Amino acid sequence: MKIRILVPTFNELHTLPSILHRIFQESENFHVLVIDDNSPDGTGRLAEQLKSQYKNLDVLHRKQKNGLGAAHIEGFLNSLEDFDVLVEMDADGSHDPKDLHQILEKINHFDCVLGSRWVPGGKVINWPKSRQLLSQGGNIYARLMLGFKIGDSTGGYRAYRSNALKQINLKEIDSQGYCFQVDMVRRLLEKKLTITEVPITFTERTIGSSKMSKNIVIEAFLRIGLWGIQRIFTS
Ligand SMILES: Nc1nc2c(ncn2[C@@H]2O[C@H](COP(=O)(O)OP(=O)(O)OP(=O)(O)O)[C@@H](O)[C@H]2O)c(=O)[nH]1
Ligand SMILES: [Mg+2]
């Protein structure tokens, strides 16, 4: 099974070396694609330099910051034909590469495996209460609007079988932030593809800065609401 881990980056100069080291420490057979949106801090250049250290490292350079969703879609399209499983992982250290093993164990039996903070055994470390409430509230909202029973549909640590992604029209997806993760879950379920969750420990980044913004929250709120209304009227 060929596995590629997609790591989107925007200004992650100080977190990228550590996350790559930690991923390849788990297995040298993993492949990694860094997807950089022309980071002003030079993350893309650093990623190129790190290729000499890791034979399975590739870098995709995009012209400008265009959101997490667009970066992942380009990463999927670039990887689908050559890899059996694609994993999404943040560069900021919030996702522990050690959790890869339990996620990948399940991908033999499901089309998608979500790393979940909000299922029994899932943990969040160093998040203020406000972030926890936002994430839990967002997940309750997504469940109510979209009628699914997923504990953590907004998380960005997950694996997909490439064959499952090929059944989705990736090019029409234009959600950007957390909403992109919910959009993917919604589309998988529409195609009757299978999803399971495994508990993960999510640790707030200690270096670099979050790209979370008010706009990302508003986008998720509005889009998920709209999908919910569409669902009610078409069922
Ligand atoms: N290529 C690309 N990567 C992005 C973009 N926005 C965020 N990222 C990366 O996506 C990952 C997650 O972004 P974070 O800044 O950690 O935001 P977050 O995880 O949603 O929010 P926090 O929980 O506050 O950290 C990181 O590796 C970022 O560098 C973007 O527009 N383009
Ligand atoms: Mg983060």
- Residue 160: per-residue pLDDT: 98
Residue by residue, what is the 3-state secondary structure of 155-205? CCCEEEEHHHHCCCCHHHCCCCCHHHHHHHHHHHHHCCCCEEEEECEEECC
Asked whether residue 97 carries a pLDDT value surpassing 90, the answer given is yes
Per-residue pLDDT of 30-54, as tens digits, reads 999 999 999 999 999 999 999 999 9
Ligand nearest to the CA of 63: 1
Q: How far is the CA of 235 from the centre of ligand 2 (A)?
A: 36
Helix axes 68-79, 178-190, angle to 10 degrees: 50
Say if residues 170 and 73 touch (Cβ distance below 8 Å). Answer: yes
Would the pTM count as exceeding 0.85? Answer: yes
Per-residue pLDDT of 155-212, as tens digits, reads 999 999 999 999 999 999 999 888 999 999 999 999 999 999 999 999 999 888 887 7
- Residue 222: per-residue pLDDT: 96
Residue to probe by mutation, ligand 1, list 7, 72, 211, most atoms within 8 Å of CB: 211
Q: Does the beta carbon of 35 lie inside 6 Å of ligand 1? A: yes
Q: Does the beta carbon of 44 lie inside 6 Å of ligand 1? A: no
Asked whether residue 232 carries a pLDDT value surpassing 80, the answer given is yes
Output the CA torsion sign for 116, 121, 127, 131.
positive
CA 17 to chain centre: 19
- CA atoms lying within 13 Å on the CB side of residue 128: 2
| Residue type at position 149 | K
Per-residue pLDDT of 113-132, as tens digits, reads 999 999 999 999 999 999 99
| Mean confidence (pLDDT) of the chain | 96
Q: How far is the CA of 204 from the centre of ligand 2 (A)?
A: 7
Q: Does the beta carbon of 92 lie inside 6 Å of ligand 1? A: yes
Average of per-residue pLDDT across 95-104: 98
Q: Does the beta carbon of 212 lie inside 6 Å of ligand 1? A: yes
CA distances in angstroms from 97 to 5, 101, 215, listed in the order given: 10, 8, 29
Asked whether residue 103 carries a pLDDT value surpassing 80, the answer given is yes
Q: Does the beta carbon of 132 lie inside 6 Å of ligand 1? A: no
